[in-house]
Chains A and B, each alone.
Chain A
Amino acid sequence: MAEVEETLKRIQTHEGVIGTIVVNAEGIPIRTTLDNSTTVQYAGLLHQLTMKARSTVRDIDPQNDLTFLRIRSKKHEIMVAPDKEYMLIVIQNPSE
């Protein structure tokens, strides 16, 4: 348990990381380093997007499945590691 906290803290202190969120299968955030409203927003939106991405991948090939999702925007990079039960979201500001 403490290892989970320690690992999350270590990721948080990584260069450029803005926030880390752990979300369960229903889109409810379990652990977060951001404030509540941002967390809820990110969790909800990214959950839907991940579901959509996953269904896209599986529509193209039913044997396939989504393993990692990376969204690069002008300001941030959002990385999502999805799983059957949970999802790990990290928002990073990549250094130029």
Chain B
Amino acid sequence: MRVCVQILRQFCFNSATKRIVEIPDLQWEKSQLNRNVACRFFFIWFPDLTELKLPVSDPNPSLCVCVLLTLQWDTDPSVLQLQSDSELGRKMQRLGATKITQVDFLPREVVLYCKETQTPITGTEEEDDEEIIDLEPALESDQQEEVDNKETREGYPGRELTEEEKQQILKSEEFLSFFDCSIRVMERALAEQSDIFFDYSGRDLEDKDGELQGGSSLSLSRLFYDEHWSKHRVITCLDWSPQYPELLVASYNNNEDAPHEPDGVALVWNMKFKKNTPEYVFHCQSPVVAVGFARFHPNLVVGGTYSGQIVLWDNRSHRRTPVQRTPLSAAAHTHPVYCVNVVGTQNANNLITVSTDGRMCSWTQPISTPWDFMELVYNKSKPVAVTGMAFPTGDVNNYVVGSEEGTVYTASRHGSKAGICEMFEGHQGPVTGLSCHNAVGPVDFSHLFVTSSFDWTVKLWSTKHNKPLYSFEDNADYIYDVMWSPVHPALFAAVDGMGRLDLWNLNSDTEVPTASVTVEGASALNRVRWASGGKEVAVGDSEGRLWIYDAGELAVPHSEDWARFARTLMEIKANRGDAEEEGLVELTP
């Protein structure tokens, strides 16, 4: 910025007389002034910012000259008027009209806020505020380019936030929690496509997509698949929520194509709304091989991992990583945990976990070290490599486990015979799935359980006999899972490696499944789980897809089904008794 000075009056100080005398016609040379300006310049500002006094260099100290000048800021150097004399500036300045350029300072910023008040404001007040706000954006946006003010961030709609501020907001905690909730609501709203304006008079009725054809056969209801989290992962376990029947959780193995993604994923899906994205996404560092909703803690999801760690996720926190996990120590599990189960009652419940080295641990909340553990060994020699565990309905002490050798054992948690009790041999391959009868009705079948195995068969057992009651041999591939229906006494579902889902109704036929369907893509089906109402069955496959099938009429029990099943059982036992000569060993339960 250059200084343009205009001389008003000139003075000089006569040191002899010690007076300041006014000198007319003093001339200044520009160069002199510049030099002087650099070295011996001092300003005395008068209140109206226009006059200053400056002494000039004086080889003769007895004489100094003061000048009264006006100072005007000017960007144009050619306007520089002043000329100073090398000696003392005796030449007079010729006063004449000069070119004055006026430059204004910008008007002061008027700060207006349009914040909401806490108390509810009446309608008229709102109107006034809105009018003011409407006027302001028009003015402000004009001046926006000229004013560079990162600090002032007033509340005008139309005002921009800088990129950094936006990034900061997007990272903040309140934003993330707001986003989490509202995005959920928004996706559900987006997915609902019902057209309330539909006019029946104008055109033909179209069939709506997705209407369930509730019939007597198995039909596909939903497919849950997420591009990001399900792709290339095998579904390792499924569980339906005991509290909200529309929620189910699926755990996934690791994705070999994406080594940087977390190895273990658990997704909670929602059947109720049409949106196709998971309700909650949880992940952890190790592949999750078992998952379940914690029965008496509605917000918690328990996972058993390949590394032996037990992890706990909480859907109240916004974190996707576990809120609790067990330490990797010899006191806990060191082998993959394939079974997690919450047993007990509301007030006295424990988390039971079993790993493939035969160790069974009981945990309480918060999980840090197990309060009880036990090694499952048979005949005090070899530990049982447990692949599946099931508790009969209503029993919290005795349970059944399946092992990798193909043998099934019953065991108890407490009591004099704590540990493995009985051995059931029959399968020729590892036992993959195990399910205890859990339909409650007039006749008690809780001693029955079914097992599935790599030997292409599903076997029906009773805890009273150590040989299978019946073997179902309709499949031509490894059978990966089996589960009794929770409502129908004679119905169970089985899935195999060829993508087949079979429903067996033992009251109709024991030789072939009553209903069978193959999933599209013919990938191996890894897990099957009935919903708690017994109407839907969820199947997880090796490609990460979760299929929900509607069982329709098949799954509805009739009152005579129990009696019929009792008769069927007797027939089965009778047939068995004829076929096998070595006889059954009756076991005391």
Contacts and interface: CB of A to CB of B under 8 A. Distances in A.
Interface stretch (B151-159, B375-383, B452-460): B151-159
Interface in B284-337: none
B122 to A, nearest CB: 8
A1 B169 CA distance: 10
Contact of A7 (B130, B171, B179): B179
Nearest to A81: B182
Interface in B179-223: 179, 181-183, 185-187, 189-190, 193, 195
B175 A86 contact: yes
B105 interface: no
Contact of A92 (B137, B175, B190): B190
Contacts of B185: 68, 81
A88 B158 contact: no
B272 interface: no
A95 B158 CA distance: 32
Nearest to A74: B197
A30 B161 contact: yes
Interface string A70-96: 100000000101010110101010111
B170 A26 contact: no
B170 A58 contact: no
A94 B182 contact: no
Contacts of B123: 55, 59
Given A86-B175, A94-B195, A30 B170 contact: yes
Interface string A37-61: 0001001100110011001001100
B186 A26 contact: no
Interface stretch (B112-120, B385-393, B515-523, B568-576): B112-120
Given A52-B126, A85-B178, A94 B157 contact: no
Contacts of A58: 120
Contacts of B189: 68, 70, 79
B182 A88 contact: yes
Contacts of A94: 193, 195
Given A44-B137, A81-B185, A26 B114 contact: yes
B139 to A, nearest CB: 15
B166 interface: yes
B157 A17 contact: no
B157 A40 contact: yes
Size bracket, chain A contacts: 35 or more
Contacts of A27: 114, 155, 157
B197 to A, nearest CB: 8
B277 interface: yes
Given A4-B179, A30-B170, A47 B157 contact: yes
A62 B187 CA distance: 29
Contacts of A34: none
Contacts of B158: 40, 44
Contacts of A14: 187, 190
A11 B182 CA distance: 12
Contacts of B160: 28
Given A28-B161, A86-B178, A17 B120 contact: no
A36 B262 CA distance: 37
B175 A85 contact: yes
Nearest to B191: A14
Given A27-B157, A88-B183, A62 B114 contact: no
A86 B380 CA distance: 64
A81 B189 CA distance: 10
A48 B130 contact: yes
B228 interface: yes
Contacts of A55: 120-121, 123, 126
B257 interface: no
A31 B121 contact: no
A1 B171 contact: yes
Nearest to A79: B189
Nearest to A43: B157
B170 A10 contact: no
Nearest to B160: A28
A47 B189 CA distance: 20
Interface in B409-425: none
15 contacts: A1-B170, A6-B228, A7-B183, A14-B190, A24-B161, A26-B155, A27-B155, A31-B170, A47-B157, A59-B120, A68-B189, A70-B189, A79-B189, A88-B186, A94-B195
The 10 A-B pairs with the shortest beta carbon distances in the complex, nearest first, are: A44-B157, A81-B182, A26-B155, A27-B157, A88-B182, A83-B178, A58-B120, A86-B178, A30-B166, A14-B190
Interface of A: 1, 4, 6-7, 10-11, 14, 17, 22, 24-28, 30-31, 40, 43-44, 47-48, 51-52, 55, 58-59, 62, 68, 70, 79, 81, 83, 85-86, 88, 90, 92, 94-96
Given A17-B190, A83-B178, 17 more contacts: A1-B170, A11-B183, A11-B187, A24-B169, A25-B116, A28-B157, A31-B166, A48-B130, A51-B116, A58-B120, A79-B190, A81-B185, A88-B178, A88-B179, A88-B183, A90-B186, A95-B193
